[in-house]
Structure 1
Amino acid sequence: MHRAEFQVSPCRHRLVELALKSVKRKYGNVYRQAPPLGKKEVLAAIDGLGNTRLEIRDKAVLWVATDSWCRASEISGFRVRDLCRQDDGSSVLFIARSKTDPDGRGNYAFLSERGTKAVLRWIETAGLKSDDPMLTKSQRGAKICPLDPATISRIIKRCTKRDDVSAHSTRVGGVQDAFRLGCDLSSIMVAGRWKSPEMPARYGRRIIASQSAAAQVSRAFEEGEGD
């Protein structure tokens, strides 16, 4: 409200800054992140689904979530025309607008060949047209409208049989899988469309710790003792 009235914000006052610093020192400033949901667990959930209309839709949702590392709001916003096929069978998904792109400059996310086939199967099953939302309600004859972001999280919970996960869990899990495979931070930032390394580094801090110089030195000496 102060900024809207072109006034100096009281939040910048030194007393406020000191008070916040005191609170953080006393109670801590731990960041709570969504529980990770890695590729292996998502693929197991997909393999456990059948071929009903609902399950075909759910497979498409899971593939988009695990391949693209997109936020729930971005997944909800995809339209059929945003699926751009590539020569190797995979696709890229055009993200028209996102949390970090409020001006709508656009960006792209990856979708694997199996993910592309799952999405195309759902599009054909639902009879969706180019301007229709890519992921919609599964009921036959239902009004064609995009899935609510909260519904996407519920689908992931139901399919994985985990109540603690959400749509953001595949984003966290994807980063941790990438660190385990030895991907560098810059490529992870590109994949998740981060402008700063802070968030992906925070998501992968447990994995990074197990791959740190301290961990490598410990493993090297353990191997040396075994010789």
Structure 2
Amino acid sequence: MADGNAGEIVIHQLDARALPQRRARGSAEAVDARLLRTIAAALPADMPPVSALGVEIAFEAMADATKAAIAADLDCFVAWCAKERRAAFPADPEDLVRYLRHLEAQGKKPATLSRRMATLASAHRLVGIGEKDGLPTDHPMVRNALRANRRRKGAVQRQAAPLRFGGALDEHGEVKGFTITALLDACGGDVQGLRDAALLSVGYDAGLRVSELTAAGVEHLEPQADGSGLLSIPRSKTDQEGQGSWAWLSAETMRRVHAWLIQSGIENGPLFRRVGIDRRRSRAAVPPQPYHSIPGNTRHWQERLLGTPATQAQVTYTIGETSLTRQGVCAIYRRVAMAAADAGIVEMSGTNLFDAIAALSTHSLRVGLTQDLFAAGEDGAGIALTLRWSSPATALRYGRKLAVRSNAASRVLSAVRR
């Protein structure tokens, strides 16, 4: 497509290797090897033989993300043990309490301390420790240390900044700052902007985790007669066995998805991919230069002799073949948020702006939809089922304040206490 003013726009679908590459994260085999290496280095010399088949089966039952998290947490504990000259396996309950105090002194949150103990419990089970005498992480001393930490620090976890819908759903006028409506308004009409708008719209409507969003494929979309759509989710964090589930997509979202697919030329495979952009400025024509006026040491003297024609500005979009990464999705949210602020769609500046953008994460769309559903009066059980939360309590954690408007007291007393 050519435009006399804007220049030429070219869209290429190339192998992802044609794009600038980030260092690939470890494959499943690399994560397994790292975890095994950490455990093997920490085991005492007199440790009884460990069942290789048992470890292999345990690894097969874990998600790659779980193994990576265990490896990272275990590396931290093993390093502390080496510094303090303590034995990592089997861990002594008193050493675990000292380790917890070390983590608390570093400013770690209660949730982090609990996760570290759960990681160590898993690592001990992997090598067969605790089957007879119980796990050291279950010792009353360790449990009391965790309980004492929660009493001192409080158990409230920091939440991802929500990206709520705003606009028509904001009847109370309480949604401030960045909203889905504002970010969609900030998306441009080029290939990248169409991709960003479809990504935001799908992520919000379906309340997707970032792993579900990056795993979405064209073949997972099922358009409906009324213009809406269904999105198949083959596997999720709470569905490791792959029973699958479905999410609803609005007609607006489906229009945005179709616009992105048509413009990008994607027909199958990952739905959301990297978009490489190559912008070249226009150049004026350079007339031929007489031979005698060209210095003898000039490079590319043939071009000067013949001259060069004028060239138009050109923007080339290169669509990758692989799906976006978690980091790529987060970067898109923050870039579009900054564009919304720059365009004056969201009135925010200075430190407040940068703090608000930094608070956005890959969980923001899911949290935003959860809060919007609570604000609309939906109950926690229905929200948990719709958004595939592990329990209503998990969903309620993100909408505790908004859920008050539709609880038993508000429903009964609102008619008589005016």
TM score, norm. by length of structure 1:
0.89
With over 3 angstroms needed to count, the CA separation of the structure-2 counterparts of 1:220 and 1:170, relative to structure 1, is farther
Pairing partner for 1:193 from 381, 388, 402: 388
Task: Look up the SS of the partner of 1:73 in the other structure.
Answer: helix
Post-superposition shift, 1:79? Answer: 0.9
Instruction: Give CA deviations for 1:134-192 in whole Å, capped at 9, x if unaligned.
Output: 00112323431101112112211222334121221111111111111111222211221
The aligned residue for residue 368 of structure 2 is: 173
CA distance in 1, matches of 2:158, 2:202: 24
CA distance in 2, matches of 1:37, 1:167: 10
Confirm or deny that 1:152 pairs with 2:329: yes
Structure number, greater radius of gyration:
2
Please tell me whether the aligned partners of residues 37 and 169 of structure 1 are also in contact (alpha carbons under 8 angstroms). yes
Question: Identity of aligned pairs, percent?
Answer: 34
Could you tell me which amino acid in structure 2 is paired with residue 43 of structure 1? T
Structure 2 spans left out of the alignment, 5+ residues: 1-122, 167-178, 277-316, 339-355
The aligned residue for residue 90 of structure 1 is: 228
Task: Look up the SS of the partner of 2:397 in the other structure.
Answer: helix
Post-superposition shift, 1:28? Answer: 1.7
CA distance in 2, matches of 1:48, 1:220: 44
Task: Look up the SS of the partner of 1:145 in the other structure.
Answer: strand
The aligned residue for residue 13 of structure 1 is: 139
Post-superposition shift, 1:96? Answer: 1.7
CA distance in 1, matches of 2:159, 2:337: 19
Confirm or deny that 1:2 pairs with 2:124: yes
Please tell me whether the aligned partners of residues 377 and 403 of structure 2 are also in contact (alpha carbons under 8 angstroms). no
CA distance in 2, matches of 1:208, 1:62: 25
Q: How does 1:1-227 map to 2 (within 5 A)?
A: 1-8=123-130, 9-40=135-166, 41-130=179-268, 132-139=269-276, 140-161=317-338, 162-163=356-357, 164-212=359-407, 217=413, 221=417, 223=418
Task: Look up the SS of the partner of 1:183 in the other structure.
Answer: coil
CA distance in 2, matches of 1:118, 1:218: 40
CA distance in 1, matches of 2:245, 2:410: 37
CA distance in 2, matches of 1:115, 1:81: 16
Could you tell me which amino acid in structure 2 is paired with residue 182 of structure 1? G
Post-superposition shift, 1:195? Answer: 3.3
Post-superposition shift, 1:20? Answer: 1.2
Q: CA RMSD in A?
A: 1.9
Q: Greater CA deviation, 186-195 or 8-17?
A: 186-195
Could you tell me which amino acid in structure 1 is paired with residue 369 of structure 2? G
Q: How many residues align?
A: 221
Task: Look up the SS of the partner of 1:2 in the other structure.
Answer: helix
Please tell me whether the aligned partners of residues 94 and 107 of structure 1 are also in contact (alpha carbons under 8 angstroms). yes
Please tell me whether the aligned partners of residues 380 and 393 of structure 2 are also in contact (alpha carbons under 8 angstroms). no
CA distance in 1, matches of 2:410, 2:335: 37
Please tell me whether the aligned partners of residues 42 and 160 of structure 1 are also in contact (alpha carbons under 8 angstroms). no
Task: Look up the SS of the partner of 2:360 in the other structure.
Answer: coil
Please tell me whether the aligned partners of residues 205 and 250 of structure 2 are also in contact (alpha carbons under 8 angstroms). yes
Please tell me whether the aligned partners of residues 83 and 93 of structure 1 are also in contact (alpha carbons under 8 angstroms). yes
The aligned residue for residue 25 of structure 2 is: none
Instruction: Give CA deviations for 1:122-144 in whole Å, capped at 9, x if unaligned.
Output: 111111122x2100112323431
CA distance in 1, matches of 2:228, 2:414: 40
Could you tell me which amino acid in structure 2 is paired with residue 205 of structure 1? R
Please tell me whether the aligned partners of residues 162 and 365 of structure 2 are also in contact (alpha carbons under 8 angstroms). yes
